[in-house]
Amino acid sequence: MEAAGVALVLLVLLGAAASLTFYGDSLHFLPPQRNRDGDVTVTFFSRQNGRSSCQDESSFSCRDDVCSRLDKFRVLQTDRDDPGRGRWCQSEGRSTVTVRRTGGTRSLALTDSGCCWVSNVAGIRHWTSGAELDLGTRSDSKSINRCPVTAAVSSLRYPQNCFSQLRLLAHDPDGDSVRCRYANETAAPSNFTLDQTACTISRTGEVQIGVHVFEVMLEDFPVDNLTVSYEDGLTVSHRASGSSQQPLCKVKLQFTVDILDSLPSCEAGGQQPVFLSKTPSHGQVLRAAVGETVHLYAPVQALRASVEDFQVSGPQNITKAIRDDTAGDAELTLSWTPQEGDVHRDVPLCFTAQTNQTQSEMRCVVVMVTDTPADHGKASVRCWDGKMAVVLEKASMPGIDVNFLRLQDPNCSLSANATHITGAMSLHTCGTTLEDDGDFMVFRNEIRSFEVSDAVITRRKSIRVGFSCRFPKALSVSSSFAVHKSEYVFTESGFGSFSYAFEIFRDGNFSERVLPDRYPVEVRLMETVYMGIQATAELGGVQLFVESCVATPDDDPGSNMTYDLIKDGCIRDETLQVHKSPPTSFNFQVQAFKFTGDHDQVFITCTVLLCDVSSPASRCALGCLKDASRRRRRGLDRQTHGHEITQGPLQFVRPDPAPAGNRGNVADAQIHTSEDRGDARVSPEDASRFQTLLSSRVSTAVFAVAFLVAVAILVAVVRYYRTNRDTEDTGALMEDD
């Protein structure tokens, strides 16, 4: 009897321990609201992952001198393993905290802690989670900053030989840049690396079998300069380019990765489940309205395994349905109806398909909730190799104002006529993003509304319309996207659609361009490179202006290593020469150079714009500005935004070992070269012919003279030594006598 009692107690304790086993958690927030009395109300949602049955185990708190009250509402279990297996579960709770205005409060810190992490290879037991919010008002949105949105499923499981990359959800509702870092560098799992910009975790070596604990801090930084003002009168500036500035918000994401025994094969779609094309892309933003059910479909394939379940990290009251067949296919259907309390909420939603031995990738989306049904309108999207266009019917979206619509890049707006709104862009401009979606590459953009920076009220509808183009990987769209830049297409209100073509040419005639399949273009130092920019616009009477051209060792114009060719419309490189060309063209040549150190490539990025030729004070008319303060604000005269266009790379090769006289043009690069020194007053063609003549005749004559002189010297030396030897022999004979 006593033994049975002890066994019963042990079972109870083990059951309690199992239910309290911590797998990780996450937080996300509603937009903070400033009340009339100056206090701030912050509503947040906490998701906690664990084992067996997830209960209300979180207890977030903040300092008493900051928070006047913290109310916790109902906590519900949102997902769990099959009944009886008890391997994982997730719950979500909602809490509201009121932050005092008094005391000069400028931020809110929420913390929670507990024991114990699931047994893991690092032996970590105690956990601490939380977030820190800046409560100042942003100068761009006139609202309090919103924190990054993130989440993770309950338990991630990968075979040792199949783990390659894990993409984390890192969405910012304000459009800020989100960076990820390990919250505790000393506890970072071995042989895993975290890309702070892309928020992806990759393997750098063999990872140990067992459970690994991850604690990642997500931080947001503005992409444009802004100021943040506080109730006590303090104003803080945040620079977009500052590498050491303080983030506006910090949110900790905690999760586990269970590394399992290796599989015989990691082929996607075999034993490793893979999502099919109907599944939303990772990071995609979906729209939903209060009272309307939103559905998400995620088909998956695993031909040599059985998909037994889907793990889901979602909001309360979400439902999932799974369809499975015997052909290795399965499909997840998620359904959720937002309630009044979800208005303006950006809801993270993550899911993964799992078999007995492994999982698919974790894919996450964001559901943006509005208080009214989304006005989708009637839109069509056209896709070409290198560009895409979207057309909206005005009649389907009453009251829409094209002057307050733009694409993801603020410098790209749209044009309109009496019936339609049109936007056209290249696959690598206007904020278009590239996503790898299995067998497809997806180029995605969005039409969104905006307010002027100093607006206090608005009567316009908030519009966000996403669109995308999908290309099969077999079309090799990625190669043209990453190497040779094709036509750059933009649309701006008042100018319609216009495009720029930036090319490298074979010679100074600027008539024959280097073909895309010859990139990277091989050149040698000091050779002349011919480049040209051609603008094409729907609107007549425009001229092209090149504001700047900068060289970098990679295709990132913001690289730390740069060299100015043109700046503020002024030529900065002494070898750069501009050729006469029509108003919508800009042709130039420059002597090839390379960056010092281990860099053998050069990219050229130019900032260009179009102006109305009849505008006497436009940027085009001002020309070179040695005093940059003279630059007028856009809007005073008819001109477009400045757009960056990039071409390259120029690939530097070692000099040809053949004699210089036989080298001629660089056939591989298809670029005509010359040795024009600038002081001979001859054309590049004449200089080339003159150089060839010198190489063939003068060098031959010099060689002949040098040969005759060498023979004469050799004869003199032989004669000298022979005379000396005869003299020595004669002396020796006389001594013998």
Most confident of 26-40, 377-391, 397-411, 440-454: 26-40
CA–CA distances in Å: residue 106 to residues 117, 153, 158, 261, 647 = 33, 33, 42, 49, 46
Residue 541 lies in a domain: yes
Report the distance separating Cα 248 and Cα 141, nearest Å. Answer: 14
Question: What single letter denotes the amino acid at residue 118?
Answer: V
By the 8 A CB rule, do 219 and 179 touch? Answer: yes
Q: What is the pLDDT of residue 476?
A: 41
368 shares its domain with 432: no
Give the angle subtended at the CA of 152 by the CAs of 85 and 327, to the nearest 5°: 60
309 shares its domain with 433: no
By the 8 A CB rule, do 252 and 285 touch? Answer: no
User: Which single residue is written with the structure tokens 């050779």?
Assistant: 527
Q: What is the pLDDT of residue 245?
A: 78
By the 8 A CB rule, do 645 and 500 touch? Answer: yes
Question: What single letter denotes the amino acid at residue 546?
Answer: V
Q: What are the pLDDT digits (tens) for 555-584?
A: 777 777 889 999 999 999 999 999 999 999
User: Which single residue is written with the structure tokens 């060299």?
Assistant: 563
Q: Supply φ then ψ for residue 533, to 5 degrees.
A: -120, 130
Report the distance separating Cα 56 and Cα 47, nearest Å. Answer: 10
Residue 155 lies in a domain: no
607 shares its domain with 534: yes
Give the confidence band of 634 by pLDDT, cuts at 50, 70, 90: very low
362 shares its domain with 379: no
Q: Into how many domains does the chain fold?
A: 4
Structure tokens at 91: 């719950």
Residue 716 lies in a domain: no
Q: What is the pLDDT of residue 186?
A: 74
Give the confidence band of 370 by pLDDT, cuts at 50, 70, 90: confident
What integer best gives the mean pLDDT of the chain? 78
Count Cβ atoms below 10 Å from residue 724 Cβ, excluding itself: 10
Question: At residue 88, does pLDDT exceed 80?
Answer: yes
Residue 322 lies in a domain: yes
Alpha carbon 307 to chain centroid, angstroms = 32
Residue 17 lies in a domain: no
Residue 607 lies in a domain: yes
Q: State the SS3 of 222-264.
A: CCCCEEEECCCCCEEEECCCCCCCCCCEEEEEEEEEEEECCCC
Residue 664 lies in a domain: yes
Q: What are the pLDDT digits (tens) for 403-444?
A: 778 788 877 778 887 788 888 887 778 888 877 666 667 888
| Residue that is last in its domain, among 351, 373, 395 | 373
352 shares its domain with 431: no
Residue 143 lies in a domain: no
Give the confidence band of 68 by pLDDT, cuts at 50, 70, 90: confident
440 shares its domain with 403: yes
Q: What is the pLDDT of residue 480?
A: 39
512 shares its domain with 657: yes
Q: What is the pLDDT of residue 422?
A: 84
Look at 192 and 462; give whichever has higher pLDDT: 192
Report the distance separating Cα 644 and Cα 654, nearest Å. Answer: 31
Percent of the chain with pLDDT over 70: 75
Question: At residue 152, does pLDDT exceed 50?
Answer: yes
Question: At residue 461, does pLDDT exceed 70?
Answer: no
Report the distance separating Cα 733 and Cα 726, nearest Å. Answer: 11
Mean pLDDT over 84-92 rounds to 83
Report the distance separating Cα 8 and Cα 98, nearest Å. Answer: 45
548 shares its domain with 632: yes
550 shares its domain with 607: yes
| Residue that is last in its domain, among 327, 356, 373 | 373
Alpha carbon 291 to chain centroid, angstroms = 35
Q: What are the pLDDT digits (tens) for 524-562?
A: 888 999 999 999 887 778 899 999 999 988 877 777 788
Q: What is the pLDDT of residue 679?
A: 37
Put simply, whether the predicted model's pTM sits higher than 0.85 gets the answer no
Pair type for strands 156-159 and 249-260 = parallel
Q: What is the pLDDT of residue 83?
A: 66
Domain with residue 546: its CATH number is 2.60.40.4100
Domain with residue 452: its CATH number is 2.60.40.3210
The beta strands (E) that lie in 385-451 are given as: 387-393, 405-406, 415-416, 420-426, 433-437, 440-449
Q: Supply φ then ψ for residue 475, to 5 degrees.
A: -80, -5
Domain with residue 369: its CATH number is 2.60.40.10
Provide the residue range defining the domain that includes 380: 375-481
| Residue that is last in its domain, among 424, 448, 481 | 481
435 shares its domain with 330: no
Question: At residue 589, does pLDDT exceed 90?
Answer: yes
Count Cβ atoms below 10 Å from residue 108 Cβ, excluding itself: 21
445 shares its domain with 523: no
629 shares its domain with 532: yes
